[in-house]
Structure 1
Amino acid sequence: MTVVALVLAAGRGVRFGGDKRLAVMADGRSLLAHSVDNARAVFEDVRVVLREGERAEAFGLPADCRVVISPEAACGMGHSLAAGVASLADSPEQAVAILLGDMPWIATASLRRLAQAASPSTIVVPCHDGHSGHPVIFGRDLWPALQQLAGDQGARVIVQAHGARQVRVHLDDAGVLRDVDTPGALQ
């Protein structure tokens, strides 16, 4: 079972007070580069969704990083997610892991465990300490629904509508819950 990774990084991050994707982590990499590198350590095919006019190099991403442009990113996460999934039409993978570009602390072991639980008909949801987190992995059967998303709502509505398809994976990894909304979150 192969899984493609889709890193959503086309949002504005207004609560951060600037472009958080460029925030420098302790190891000198940008926040987005750190998140993408984690994904690349596990997934063979990693695609990053950016806004129109943006280039991977501006964020310290590798030159071979696959970029998907979301022309309607300003309309919300749903548009970016739909654009990213639409780019997978030629992909042989049977599931897509939806990662957020502002979650650099997810352990690679957790990503591997989630990918191992995936199938074409399931939604894999990571859990830690009783809370659902990210990335959520959607089987290929759900990709048409993901392509219909729009506005500021992400895929939560699809997860809720398909409760019987959920596979909840309990992890001892707080990184699946921890994102960066403010500069203080980088500490």
Structure 2
Amino acid sequence: MTVDVIILAAGLSRRMGVCKALLPWQQGTLLDQACKVYGQLGGQQLVVVGQASKAMSQIARSYGFQTVVNEQPKLGQGHSLALGIRALASLASKENPVLCAVVDQPLVTAHMVQTLVAAYEVSGTAQTIICPLYGPSKERGNPVIFGAYWKQALQQITADCGGRYILQGIGKPYIRFVEIKEPAGVDVDTPSEYEQLYDMWGKL
């Protein structure tokens, strides 16, 4: 099936102190890694960028992603998500589900993404929302697949909570959880978190 993709990469990285999307990871950056993982789903592909937008746009385009610049990243993740969904509205089929990912989860693999897509495909409804549960603790995380029904609501999000506005509200009855046995939903938020993950998996 065809799934549109939005990667959110416009955060201010306050705790990290530098642009997270451009941190080294394997043979590229965290943004390279995200584009590789999420770039095989057949739909429109978009990265929402903020600081260092020129460098990030160059990377994104090399993987076939388009970019939209969040000129007000301080407004938070919800604003970035709404911008991305609005940009997709002029590019993609209204019937496509949309996968919403973040740039700072480098342990998520393409196989995990395909598991989520397969779960959505089985559901067969435009109202379905697919959320992963990672590891033995079954921790909720990203990416999340929203059926086409939710695109209009996603465009209206203004809060920093992003898609959680829907997941914890009107969308809650429509969530289907998919268990991923690996604890791969780790966000890279601080230098120590990044260093630990890089030392274990980010080197080649």
TM-score (norm 2): 0.82
Tell me the SS of whatever aligns to 2:115: helix
1:137 and 2:139 aligned: no
1:168 is aligned to 2:177: yes
Q: Which residue of 1 aligns with 2:9?
A: 9
Listed one character per residue, the Cα deviations across residues 96-122 of structure 1 (whole Å, up to 9, x for unaligned) are 111001111101111011112224211
What is the CA distance between 1:46 and its match in structure 2?
2.0
Counterparts of 1:6-155 in structure 2, within 5 Å, are 6-25=6-25, 27-51=26-50, 54-55=53-54, 60-63=59-62, 64-90=64-90, 91-92=92-93, 93-118=95-120, 119-128=125-134, 129=136, 130-155=138-163
Task: Note if contact 2:4-2:42 (Cα within 8 Å) is conserved in structure 1.
Answer: yes
What are the ranges of 5 or more consecutive residues in structure 2 without an aligned counterpart?
199-204
Partner-residue secondary structure (3-state), 1:173: coil
Cross-structure match for 2:190: 182
Which of 165, 174, 179 lines up with 1:157 in the alignment?
Answer: 165
CA distance in 1, matches of 2:58, 2:190: 18
Please give the TM-score of this superposition, normalised by the length of structure 1: 0.89
Q: Which deviations, in whole Å up to 9, do the C-alpha atoms of 1:31-69 show, x marking residues without a partner?
A: 111111111144543210012772255663343421122
User: What's the C-alpha RMSD, in Å, of the aligned pairs?
Assistant: 2.0
Runs (5+) with no aligned partner, structure 1: none
- Distance change >3 Å, CA 76–CA 8, structure 1 → 2: same
CA 1:58–1:66: 2 relative to 1, 3 Å? closer
Task: Note if contact 1:70-1:84 (Cα within 8 Å) is conserved in structure 2.
Answer: no
Aligned length: 185
**Which residue identity does 2:189 align to in structure 1?**
D
What secondary structure, in the 3-state scheme, does the structure 1 residue paired with 2:24 have? coil
Q: Is the CA contact 2:129–2:175 (under 8 Å) kept in the aligned structure 1?
A: yes
Greater mean deviation of Cα atoms: 177-186 or 77-86: 177-186
Q: Distance in 2 between matches of 1:54 and 1:124?
A: 30
Residue aligning to 2:202: none
Larger deviation: 84-93 or 107-116? Answer: 84-93
Please identify, of 59-68 and 11-20, the stretch whose mean Cα deviation from structure 2 is larger: 59-68
Asked if the contact 1:125/1:166 (under 8 Å) is kept, the reply is yes
* Structure 1 counterpart SS, 2:127: coil
Cα distance in 1, alignment partners of residues 57 and 104 from structure 2? 16
> What is the identity, as a one-letter code, of the residue corresponding to 1:61?
A
